[in-house]
Amino acid sequence: MKVAIVKYNSGNTFSVGSALSRLDLEPVITNDPDEIASADKVIFPGVGEASSAMSYLREAGLDRVIQSLRSDVLAICLGMQLICTYSEENDSTCLGILPHDVRRFPESVGKVPHVGWNTITDLKSPLFEGVSEGSRVYFVHSYYVDAGRDATASTEYGRSFTSALQHENFYGVQFHPEKSGQVGSRILQNFLDL
């Protein structure tokens, strides 16, 4: 099985690649559109800022490649936000694969960014096969997707937000499975097993 990790200026590709290596899988880390399009599975990670990430994706032609993928795609953290329609982060138009907006946490929720371990509940996806309700995973983010019809997990941080979603072959997780210990490894393995 060929797994491609999308390499771009906001990707945490090394830690995701290391997590897959621990599952005895050696991914291809690439920004080559043909390599990405021909992969059996694609992981679209992200750490950083939405508008500069989208600028890079457009300049490299990766926006159209990601939008056209028919293989299973796992979008992580900023990657999940970028597959939505719009982000309040620097007024960014995103990939528009899912019809959701990304909003900044208000200061009223407490410390922003939301950093550290938190629980995932309302689990409704094959990604969470064998994962217990209320399992703890690792988050680092200041922006979130409102709870909506594509949500497959939710988390409380001053308000309920979507911590995972799915639309057709696109799966998104706001947390970092590659930094979430055994639970994260199980989620990554479940993605590979889809």
pLDDT digits (tens, 9 = 90+) for 26-67: 999 999 999 999 999 999 998 889 999 999 999 999 999 999
pLDDT in tens, 89-110: 999 999 999 999 999 999 999 9
Q: Which of 83, 46, 53 is CA-nearest to residue 175?
A: 46
What is the reported pLDDT for 23? Answer: 96
CB-based contacts of 21, cutoff 8 Å, min separation 6: none
Q: Is 87 helix (H, G, I), strand (E, B) or coil?
A: strand
Q: Bigger pLDDT: 143 or 12?
A: 143
The Cα–Cα gap between 153 and 162 comes to: 6
pLDDT, residue 70, reads 98
Average pLDDT, the chain: 96
Q: How many CA atoms lie within 13 A of 78 on its CB side?
A: 20
| 121-to-15, 62, 114, 142, 193 alpha-carbon distances in Å | 25, 33, 17, 20, 22
Give residue 10's pLDDT band: very low, low, confident or very high (50, 70, 90).
confident
Catalytic residues: 77, 176, 178
- The runs of H, that is alpha helices, within 60-180 are 62-68, 78-82
Structural domains for the chain:
3-193 (3.40.50.880)
Mean pLDDT score, 8-21 = 90
Contact criterion met (CB below 8 Å) for 64 and 39? no
- Please give the pLDDT value at position 183: 98
Confidence band for 149, pLDDT divided at 50, 70 and 90: confident
Task: Examine the pLDDT at 111 and tell me if it is beyond 80.
Answer: yes
Q: Residue 121 pLDDT > 80, yes or no?
A: yes
